[in-house]
Chains A and B, each alone.
Chain A
Amino acid sequence: MKRILSLALALLMLVGMIPMASAETAAYTQSPYLDGKELPAVADRLPIASDVMVEEMKEIGQYGGALTLLQGGSSKWGPGKPTEEALFRFNTDGTIEPNVAKGYDVNEDATVYTIYLREGMKWSDGVPFTSEDCRFFYEDLLIPGVTTKSVWEAMYSSDANGEDKTMATLEIVDDYTFKVVFKYPKPNFLKELAINGKWFFAPKHWLQDKIPGENYLSQEEADKLAAELGYSDVKSMGNSLTYYYWIVPGRPTLRAWTIQGDFEAELCTWVRNPYYWKVDAEGKQLPYIDELHFRRYSDAEQALLWTLDGTADISSVALADVETILNDATAAVELIEWSSVDWASNSIQLNQAIKDEDLRALFQNVKFRQALSIAVNREQIVELVDNGYTEAAQSAPAAGAQGYSEEWTKAYTQYDVAAAQALLEECGLVKGDDGFYYFANGKKVVLNLQYQDETHASLAELLKNDFTILGLETTTRMYDRSIMEEMRSANNHEVVINYESFSTVSLSLRPDYFVPFRDYCIWGTAFGLWYKNPANEAAVEPPADVKAMLETYDKMMAATTVEKRDEIAGELLAMFKDGLYEIGFSSALPAVYAIDANLRNFPDVAVDCDEFRNLGIANFAQLWLAAE
């Protein structure tokens, strides 16, 4: 294991050496945007020559211009993800590479990670970035709760039984080296860090007189500062300055652009960071684009019009609008499809821990779920809901992902009402004189279909129709998102349509939507409560198959090697294949982006998912606009 890793590291450094050498000899250049701004010379703003990051890209670009992106609502991640700089980042193929970090080293049993930083790298205000900024973030912000976020799962390791969960400690070696030390092996640490850790540093020089803590502000001083800065309390201030920091003007960051002015403004401008630490192969300091503009819209039609009239340079396109854009000859945009990691585009999940005892027993019966699955006319859904863009399919991993099989995507998709009715009878249901099914105790079976977004109304009606034909009384109802959330936490949800459906880049890295190890996944929130604490009054004891799944999950989390972990993830996947915990109707839809026809270096092939930071995988620093 160690040999493989050190070999990989050696190779990595070797690959790194080639552009490094050329960059060393080449003189660094900067964007004309920065000329005359009384800054130190560009070479002094970059890390030392051996440590500067040379971004590899399709074609070397030209400086200049502004990119306009659209922002609906008040999601801080809108500008957050495309500008994010993580310690380690994902490549489009799902591997990770050092980004803010220069490299890493790991010991044989994956308990000690040595992380190397880039010497001479600076924050956007020109102050050096060192390992102390990483220690400061972890020990003085994350652990004491200044960020108001719990310590990331990536920082915990546990023994082979999944017990004795222990937090990692940091050891600072020098200004540019630190070690993350785990008590137990943590083979996936870097990937997990890239997913839920993202950044692992904060500008101590800027924050040390703004946060509460033993060596920092007293509670009164912090209260006073919070009031001065216009925050309701110290916690909100901490959360804003250390977690959602990228929308705080003047806050030093490592990002290619920094925000200027109000995030809520109709047009929010971000300007290039003069201390950005990446260059292209010719020694041009990145990014190519001088400014980012985020335009705020309040209605989806506006986003579409801005895409058509060329205001937006990169925008996400709803499938229903693809044709409108293609039919508009004047629209100078190119449509790009990124694949999705969703298991289906349309699906339902049954709350197997539902309060009603009869329904609970029924929903836990896999035969009932199989009956529902084959009672649905998927062709209709493909045509009417997805405009023919998808295929009839079961909820299953996408082609190329772990666990994929043709057989799985076709499992229980054969439309057969008679067979479905036979399955219902096997479940002990009895058909009444009115043609509807009843429990053996004479109670009528009623399926309440619940959904959150009006776009799912047509799917709900189609399903209602199919289930009624099957002989099950069905209702449909739309709920506001917050009410849906309330229902979920109170365990009042029943049959839920397209809500937090199965989606993950890898089950072993992010099983949150799948396995009920906390009250999170829709099909068994109350099982999650049981897993955490069986004595909890709201908890529901899971059936045998779910208990087995939770045990397998524990084993997976405690696996000491990546191979072992993937192997156990395979076992988990098999359980999902047999269990139909989510009933899917049509294959996943791609994510469609409309980009300016002059935009270069935007990846044609990528996976659009949160783990890869959605648009962020395009590495915005390397994007550039060709002259028209």
Chain B
Amino acid sequence: MEASATKAEPRRNPFSSPMARFIYKRVLTFIPIMLIMSLLIFIIIQLPPGDYLTTYIAGLKAEGQVVEEAEIAMLKEQFGLDQPWYVQYFKWIWNIITDFNFGYSFDFGRPVWPVIAEVLPMTIAVSLITMLFGYLVGIPLGIYSAVRQYSLGDYVLTFIGFLGMAMPNFLFAILLMYGTYIWTGTAFIGLYTEEILLAVNSGAMQWYHVLVHPDFWARMTIPILVMGTDGLCGTLRSMRAQMLDELGCQYVLAARAKGVSEARIIYKYCLRAALNPTVSGLSGMLSKIFNGSTISAIVLNLQIMGPRLYDALKAQDMYLAGTILLVMGFLIVLGTLLSDIVLAWLDPRIRFEGRSAD
């Protein structure tokens, strides 16, 4: 390892220069990736038979409205659905590139961005809170489970871990909502009480006020339990497995022989190595934060991005769905880059292997 470090000596900045080039190259590849992705997204959204108009007309008819053929033709023209899909695609992409205009949501009758932006703060809040819960509780429990392998605590945590991974979230969510109705007389549906919603409507409260409201946190317990435990149990199981691998390594034996304290071995050496898979998992995290969960959110009536995407896909509200998917795709690409950088920083082996191949 040291030898390869000296070989790179002639370069003026031995570490940051390849890293910078690496980042630069990766960012350049974003452009073709995003273009290909946008095309694929557009094609996939168009794949099912029909378009937004059929959904729209079906909705009108379901309400007993009579829709004339002339009106259908007019709507088709109005929505631009009378043109071939590639024309629609190029118009969309062209407006994004030249104007940063992502088009209109048919369903909301508004530009796409405000429709996304209005649910964004709460989506990020819910995702971060549930995710943090998963990591902050999952990692220590995983370490505990590994260090005290086959203890009673380990068995209990293993049981909970498997249960949490196996139980469908939506079922857990319905049970908890019904439970709140039975125990408190008020079903905890959604994140806000009527009082909060009225205050928000009247402008007396902003979303950041909501975040510090006790009633919000009382209601937040259900999403935390439902969505947080899902992440928690996964983290717990993978942390445990990784820690056990590391604890069996010879360097641990060597460190113990040298008299290094157990805490130092676990937290300074083993944990750092065991975190690798968890950090790799960060690549999808940005996108998850942006989207939040979907099925659980629908069951819990959380008005966040996931259900909005789901509705948009169902209704073939293609510019809204397309934009959400495009942003998610971008965040995955970006997240992969970031997680690679963090991994390189966290694990010198990755850093130097990359170098020697260079």
Q: Which residues of A contact B (CB under 8 A)?
A: 68, 73-75, 77, 145, 148-150, 196, 230-233, 235-236, 240, 260-261, 264-269, 293, 295-299, 301-302, 305-306, 308-309, 311, 330, 480-486, 489, 500, 512, 518-520, 610-611
Contact = CB atoms under 8 A, between A and B. Distances in A.
Contacts, number: 126
B6 interface: no
Nearest to A244: B109
A518 B49 CA distance: 23
B104 A232 contact: yes
Contact of A299 (B48, B70, B110, B298): B298
A309 B54 contact: no
B172 to A, nearest CB: 13
A248 to B, nearest CB: 10
8 contacts: A148-B78, A267-B194, A267-B197, A269-B198, A305-B189, A311-B194, A482-B316, A485-B55
A299 B314 CA distance: 15
A499 to B, nearest CB: 10
Contacts of A148: 71, 74-75, 78
A299 B299 contact: yes
Given A232-B109, A265-B201, A301 B299 contact: yes
B194 A75 contact: no
Nearest to A492: B49
B55 A482 contact: yes
A555 to B, nearest CB: 21
Contacts of B58: 481-482, 484-485
A518 B61 CA distance: 14
Nearest to A609: B64
B78 A233 contact: yes
Contact of B69 (A149, A306, A311, A518): A518
Contacts of A293: 194, 198
A68 B181 CA distance: 18
Among B59, B192, B301, max chain A CB count under 10 A is at B301
Interface string B62-78: 11101011110011001
A539 to B, nearest CB: 13
Interface in B232-279: none
A75 B59 contact: yes
B177 interface: yes
A267 B185 contact: no
Interface string B300-315: 0101000100000011
**4 tightest CB-CB pairs across the interface, nearest first?**
A610-B64, A267-B197, A305-B187, A232-B104
Contact of B49 (A295, A486, A512): A486
Among B58, B78, B185, B186, max chain A CB count under 10 A is at B58
B207 to A, nearest CB: 12
B85 interface: no
A309 B185 contact: yes
A236 B78 contact: yes
Contacts of B78: 148, 233, 235-236
A297 B71 contact: no
A74 B107 contact: yes
Contacts of A500: 61
Contact of A267 (B68, B110, B177, B201): B201
Contacts of A73: 59
Among A196, A268, A295, max chain B CB count under 10 A is at A295
Given A150-B70, A268-B201, A298-B303, 6 more contacts: A74-B108, A236-B109, A265-B201, A267-B198, A305-B178, A330-B185
B298 A485 contact: no
Interface in B186-234: 186-187, 189-190, 192, 194, 197-198, 201
B301 A297 contact: yes
Contacts of A232: 104, 109, 111
B69 A485 contact: no
A298 B293 CA distance: 14
B132 interface: no
Among A145, A305, A330, A483, max chain B CB count under 10 A is at A305
Contacts of B59: 73, 75, 481
Given A150-B68, A293-B194, A500-B61, A298 B49 contact: no
Nearest to B178: A305
B74 to A, nearest CB: 6
A230 B109 CA distance: 8
A302 B189 contact: yes
A240 B109 contact: yes
Interface residues of B, number: 49
Contact of B63 (A75, A269, A302, A305): A75
A71 B65 CA distance: 18
A483 B194 contact: no
B174 interface: yes
B32 interface: no
A530 to B, nearest CB: 14
A235 B198 CA distance: 33
B10 interface: no
A302 B301 contact: yes
A455 to B, nearest CB: 14
Contacts of B187: 302, 305-306, 308-309, 311
A77 B63 contact: yes
B125 to A, nearest CB: 15
B114 interface: yes
Given A75-B59, A230-B111, A301-B174, A260 B71 contact: no
Interface string B96-125: 000000001001111100100000000000
Contact of B201 (A149, A231, A269): A269
Contacts of A236: 78, 109
A396 B318 CA distance: 42
Nearest to B192: A266
Interface in B141-174: 174
A607 to B, nearest CB: 13
Given A264-B108, A266-B303, A298-B307, A481 B55 contact: yes
Contacts of B198: 267, 269, 293
B104 to A, nearest CB: 4
A260 B200 CA distance: 12
B201 A261 contact: yes
Nearest to A76: B63
B23 interface: no
B50 interface: yes
A264 to B, nearest CB: 7
Nearest to A237: B109
A527 to B, nearest CB: 15
B42 to A, nearest CB: 18
B318 to A, nearest CB: 13
Contacts of A518: 68-69
B217 to A, nearest CB: 18
B49 A483 contact: yes
A298 B299 CA distance: 7
Contacts of B201: 260-261, 265, 267-269
B262 to A, nearest CB: 50
Contacts of B54: 482-483, 485-486, 489
A32 to B, nearest CB: 18
Contacts of A231: 109-110
Given A148-B75, A298-B298, A481 B62 contact: yes
B57 interface: yes
Nearest to B115: A264
A519 B301 contact: no
Nearest to B184: A309
A306 B61 contact: no
